[in-house]
Chains A and B, each alone.
Chain A
Amino acid sequence: GAGVSQSPSNKVTEKGKDVELRCDPISGHTALYWYRQSLGQGLEFLIYFQGNSAPDKSGLPSDRFSAERTGGSVSTLTIQRTQQEDSAVYLCASSLARESYGYTFGSGTRLTVV
């Protein structure tokens, strides 16, 4: 596609439920990133996929968070047993490897846990 697509754009879920957030990167971009943006906070790195390499999961805040990337394209971020502190905007970005123009971000999924 022309840009990075994320779905859903908004998600309200009850505490304790599982949620899945989807990211469809720009075609041909080998790198895909998930970040989290909480109110008043900077973008917090979650996970990074690069080609066929093992993902860098160093930013995942707990084992309730996981992500996969199928076929080197679409990625799904799963949060199990959601907590109120998981409420944030989850941003996905993609890039060509070693590109000096940084990321192209999607519009994000606003997750609200009630």
Chain B
Amino acid sequence: GQNIDQPTEMTATEGAIVQINCTYQTSGFNGLFWYQQHAGEAPTFLSYNVLDGLEEKGRFSSFLSRSKGYSYLLLKELQMKDSASYLCAVRPPNFGNEKLTFGTGTRLTIIP
């Protein structure tokens, strides 16, 4: 089975740094995605990790530890527009199967 855990809500201050954690317990693993979803809009791709380590992309970085079943999304220099839900999703190991399993998402609120 698949189980993905994320905090439900977080609050952070404009200009600061925030880390959103995701832990997973899955019957197989072939990569982890982070998506951003603004209220009333479609989720949009942020990052993809399949190997251990840190992937940096501008203000956003994503980390993966496969042995610990753990990932985090790090957002730096927070802006008000970063207020959104952040979804963690795990990709199954079966070739050709792109059916992702999503966590419930973390609603991030940025305050001035």
Which of A's residues lie within 8 Å of B, judged by CB?
4, 31, 33, 35, 40-43, 45, 48, 50, 56, 59, 91, 95, 97-108
| Given A31-B98, A42-B87, A50-B96: A102 touches B104 (CB 8 Å cut-off) | no
Residues from chain B with a CB closer than 8 A to the CB of A103 are: 43, 45, 98, 100
In the complex, how many residues of chain B place their beta carbon closer than 8 angstroms to a beta carbon of chain A? 24
Judge whether B104 and A42 touch: CB under 8 Å. yes
Which of B's residues lie within 8 Å of A, judged by CB?
4, 31, 33, 35, 41-45, 48, 50, 87, 89, 95-105
| Given A33-B99, A42-B102, A42-B103: A102 touches B42 (CB 8 Å cut-off) | no
Residues from chain A with a CB closer than 8 A to the CB of B42 are: 4, 91, 105-108
Residues from chain A with a CB closer than 8 A to the CB of B89 are: 43, 102
**By DSSP majority rule, is chain A's interface helix, strand, loop, or mixed?**
loop
Residues from chain A with a CB closer than 8 A to the CB of B101 are: 45
B57 to A: closest C-beta gap in Å: 12
Residues from chain A with a CB closer than 8 A to the CB of B44 are: 105
Q: Which 9 A-B residue pairings sit nearest by Cβ, starting from the closest?
A: A105-B42, A42-B104, A43-B102, A42-B102, A107-B42, A102-B33, A102-B45, A105-B43, A48-B99
Residues from chain B with a CB closer than 8 A to the CB of A48 are: 97-99
Residues from chain B with a CB closer than 8 A to the CB of A100 are: 31, 48, 50
B98 to A: closest C-beta gap in Å: 6
Tell me the complex Cα distance, A106–B43, Å. 8
Judge whether A102 and B87 touch: CB under 8 Å. no
| Given A102-B33, A105-B44: A43 touches B99 (CB 8 Å cut-off) | no
- Cross-interface CB contact of B98 among A4, A35, A97, cutoff 8 Å: A97
Q: Which of B42, B50, B87, B96 has the most CB of A within 10 A?
A: B42
- Cross-interface CB contact of B104 among A40, A59, A98, A108, cutoff 8 Å: A40
Residues from chain B with a CB closer than 8 A to the CB of A98 are: 95-96, 98
Residues from chain A with a CB closer than 8 A to the CB of B43 are: 43, 91, 103, 105
Judge whether A95 and B31 touch: CB under 8 Å. no
Tell me the complex Cα distance, A41–B101, Å. 12
